[in-house]
């Protein structure tokens, strides 16, 4: 039996290419930023994102509401927030169950589910881990290896679940998992110590000094690593900016990380932001279009935007 298990594991490893290729063959994916209602408004965001096609990233911000795991833009809740279970998992049930029946693994994962925790308390993290158990078989896993530096192959499923950098998340989602058991979600990379006022000038190797681990598989980047000061201080898109973006992407890929940039919006001067606000607004569609095209050409794995349909058209 043990020899059979070893043989099966070897077959899985042999059949799998680079871990980077697992996500859309290492090609860009639209990442639907803040894909949930705010204060009961804009309830159709998840359907809008799913309507752009697959694969697609779906970001869900998570909070703790008196023992309930809810989707919320704020850590402080008022009881009206939808349950993560209902808003995401039960909503995509028909998509996942259809995908499992068809078993077209070449196109998996269909959805990259991205958790942004507004509260990293242990009870909330434990509740999410328990919730994921209810949907075992839906999402991609990897076996926990004895050495965290040894990256186990992915067991492909329709969903891939990513979470962020917090160390308490790593404690609950990784360190507590026994060796040989399944990792259900994957964290983002720790970054190096750099001058916060000169992020766009820091060498990529200083920003991201260490290779991925079995748990930390991706790099979550604000745009101020490319253009100093971020979206509101961005000027003309230059050849130097493009070279900087490519250097960051290339460095991440050389180490073995997927890379995400957030959030690339280009709402016009009329102030209509569709309810998302101006935090990530370059100020015009022309300005963001240049950055979208540059991110696509550079091979950014997850391009986060609030303009789901517009970005999807550019990508197609």
Q: Is the pLDDT of residue 271 over 70?
A: no
Sheet strands (E) in 144-275: 154-155, 159-162, 182-183, 187-188, 216-222, 258-262
| CB within 8 Å of 186: residues ≥ 6 apart | 142, 160, 161, 162, 163, 215, 216, 217, 218
Q: Is the pLDDT of residue 60 over 60?
A: yes
Domain residue limits, the chain: 2-315
For residue 93, CA distances in Å to 122, 151, 206 come to 27, 29, 42
DSSP string, 14-30: HH---GGGGTGGG--EE
Q: Is 64 helix (H, G, I), strand (E, B) or coil?
A: strand
Neighbours of 78 (CB within 10 A): 10
* Residue 4 confidence class, pLDDT cut points 50, 70, 90: very low
77-98 pLDDT, tens digit per residue, is: 999 999 999 999 999 999 999 9
96-141 pLDDT, tens digit per residue, is: 999 999 999 999 999 999 999 999 999 999 999 999 999 999 999 9
Report yes or no on whether pTM surpasses 0.85. Answer: yes
Share the mean pLDDT of the chain.
93
Task: Look at the chain and count its residues.
Answer: 316
Fold of 2-315: TIM Barrel (3.20.20)
149-162 mean pLDDT: 98
Q: Is the pLDDT of residue 11 over 80?
A: no
């Amino acid at each position: 039996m043990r020899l059979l298990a070893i043989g099966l594991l070897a077959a899985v490893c042999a059949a799998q290419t680079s871990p980077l290729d697992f996500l859309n063959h290492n090609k860009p994916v639209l990442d639907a930023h803040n894909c949930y209602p705010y204060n009961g408004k804009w309830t159709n965001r998840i359907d809008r994102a799913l309507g752009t096609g697959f694969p697609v990233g779906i970001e869900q911000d998570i909070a703790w509401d008196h023992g309930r795991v809810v989707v919320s833009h704020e850590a402080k809740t008022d009881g009206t927030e939808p349950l993560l279970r209902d808003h995401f998992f039960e909503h995509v049930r028909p998509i996942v169950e259809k995908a499992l029946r068809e078993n077209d693994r070449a196109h998996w994962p269909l959805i990259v589910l991205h958790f942004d925790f507004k509260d990293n308390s242990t009870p909330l993290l434990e509740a999410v881990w328990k919730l994921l158990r209810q949907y075992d078989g839906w999402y991609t896993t990897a076996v926990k290896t004895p050495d965290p530096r040894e990256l186990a192959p992915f067991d492909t499923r329709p969903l891939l679940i990513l979470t962020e950098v917090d160390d308490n998340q790593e404690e609950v989602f990784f360190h507590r998992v026994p060796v040989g058991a399944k990792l259900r979600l994957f964290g983002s990379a720790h970054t190096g110590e750099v001058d916060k006022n000169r992020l766009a000038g820091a060498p990529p190797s200083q920003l991201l000094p260490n290779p991925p681990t079995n748990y930390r598989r991706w790099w979550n980047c604000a745009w101020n690593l490319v253009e100093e000061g971020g979206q509101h201080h961005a000027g003309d898109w230059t050849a130097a900016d493009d070279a900087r973006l490519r250097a960051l992407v290339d460095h991440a890929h050389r180490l073995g990380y997927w890379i995400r940039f957030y959030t690339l919006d280009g709402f016009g001067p009329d102030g209509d932001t569709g309810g998302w606000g101006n935090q990530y607004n370059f100020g015009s569609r022309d300005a963001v279009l240049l950055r979208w095209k540059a991110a696509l050409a550079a091979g950014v794995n997850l391009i986060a935007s609030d303009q789901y349909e517009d970005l999807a058209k550019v990508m197609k």
